[in-house]
A and B are shown apart, each in its own frame.
Chain A
Amino acid sequence: MNGVNRSLPIRVDVRSKVFPAVGDRPPQLVLKDVAFEVAPRSFLVITGPSGCGKSTLLNIIAGLDTDFSGSVDLGPAKDKLTFIFQSPRLLPWRTVYENIALVLPEGDPRHAQIPDMIERVGLRDAMNAYPERLSLGMQRRASLARGFIVEPQILLMDEPFVSLDDPTAISLRALLTELWHRHPTTVIFVTHDRAEAIQLGTRILRLAPGKASVAQDVTINLTEAQRHDQAAILAEQNRIFAA
Chain B
Amino acid sequence: MAPISTRISSTPRLMAAPSGFTASLERLAWMAGSLFALAVFWQIIAVYADSRYLPTPLAVFDVLLREGANGNLWKDTSATLARVAVAFVVSMFIGATIGIFLGRYRTADKFFDAWLILFLNLPALVTITLCYIWFGLTDAAAITAVALNKIPNVAVNMREGARSLSKDLDEMAVIYKFGWWKTLRHVTLPQLAPFFAAAARSGLSLVWKIVLVVEAFGRSSGVGYRLSIAFQEFDVSTILAYALAFILVVQIIEFAVLQPLQERVTAWRR
Contacts and interface: CB of A to CB of B under 8 A. Distances in A.
Contacts of A6: none
A146 B186 CA distance: 15
Contacts of A131: 5
Contacts of B1: 86-87
Contacts of B253: none
B48 interface: no
Given A94-B186, A132-B268, A132-B270, A87 B3 contact: yes
Interface stretch (A45-53, A77-85, A173-181, A217-225): A77-85
Interface in B1-51: 1-5, 8-9
**Residue from B9, B171, B178 whose CB has the most chain A CB atoms within 10 Å:** B171
A132 B269 contact: yes
A81 B175 contact: yes
Nearest to A95: B268
Contacts of B187: 91
Contacts of A83: 175
B186 A132 contact: no
B174 interface: yes
A243 interface: no
Contact of A64 (B174, B268, B269): B174
B171 A64 contact: yes
A92 interface: yes
Contacts of B3: 87-88, 136
**Residue from A85, A90, A92, A102 whose CB has the most chain B CB atoms within 10 Å:** A92
A85 B4 CA distance: 12
A103 B1 CA distance: 23
B176 interface: yes
Nearest to A131: B5
B182 interface: yes
Nearest to B270: A132
A150 interface: yes
Given A94-B186, A103-B176, A150-B176, A89 B268 contact: no
Interface residues of B, number: 22
Contacts of B268: 92-94, 130, 132
Interface string B167-191: 0110110111010001000110010
Chain A contact residues, majority secondary structure: loop
A93 B168 contact: no
A130 B190 CA distance: 14
A64 B2 CA distance: 17
A62 B175 contact: yes
B175 A92 contact: no
A102 B186 contact: yes
Given A132-B5, A132-B270, A91 B186 contact: yes
A160 B15 CA distance: 36
A64 B175 CA distance: 8
A103 B172 CA distance: 10
B190 A91 contact: yes
A131 B169 CA distance: 14
A120 to B, nearest CB: 19
Contacts of B5: 92, 131-132
Interface string A92-115: 111000000011000000000000
A85 B175 CA distance: 10
B172 A89 contact: yes
A83 B178 CA distance: 14
Contacts of B172: 85, 89
A86 to B, nearest CB: 8
A82 B4 contact: no
A88 B1 CA distance: 11
Given A91-B169, A92-B4, A93-B190, A102 B175 contact: no
A82 B175 contact: yes
Contacts of B182: 102
A136 B5 CA distance: 10
B4 A89 contact: yes
Contacts of B178: 102-103
Contacts of B4: 87-90, 92
Interface of B: 1-5, 8-9, 168-169, 171-172, 174-176, 178, 182, 186-187, 190, 268-270
Interface of A: 62, 64, 81-83, 85-94, 102-103, 130-133, 136, 146, 150
8 contacts: A64-B171, A64-B174, A82-B175, A87-B2, A92-B8, A92-B269, A103-B176, A132-B269
A-B pairs, 8 with minimum CB distance: A103-B176, A93-B268, A93-B190, A130-B268, A89-B172, A87-B3, A132-B270, A83-B175
